[in-house]
Amino acid sequence: MNHQSNNPLHGKTLEAILRELEAKIGWKAMGENIDIRCFNHDPSIKSSLKFLRRTPWARAKVEALYLKVFHGVSWPNS
């Protein structure tokens, strides 16, 4: 049995998560939810990916925000 099949993040790239969040709630709301520079000062997918790929705690917060926005669930590390 594949336990990943119930994980809404399974198969989602970080870029896809960022693009979906940006389209749904925008950079301003993303920055209000997660206070990181790459969302609040001249935001872009490229700069956000660079930061999030090397900052595990921030990536976890972005994943938790994605789950909250698109699936209405809270992730344990949010």
**pTM (2 decimals)?**
0.86
One CATH from 3.40.50.720, 1.10.720.30, 1.10.3720.10, 1.10.10.10 for 11-71: 1.10.720.30
pLDDT digits (tens, 9 = 90+) for 39-51: 999 999 999 999 9
Q: Rg for the chain (alpha carbons), in Å?
A: 12
The residues spanned by each domain of the chain are 11-71
The percent of residues above 70 in pLDDT, for the chain, comes to 88
* Average pLDDT value over all residues in the chain: 90
Q: Which residues contact 36 (CB under 8 A, 6 or more apart)?
A: 51, 58
Structure tokens at 55: 């900052």
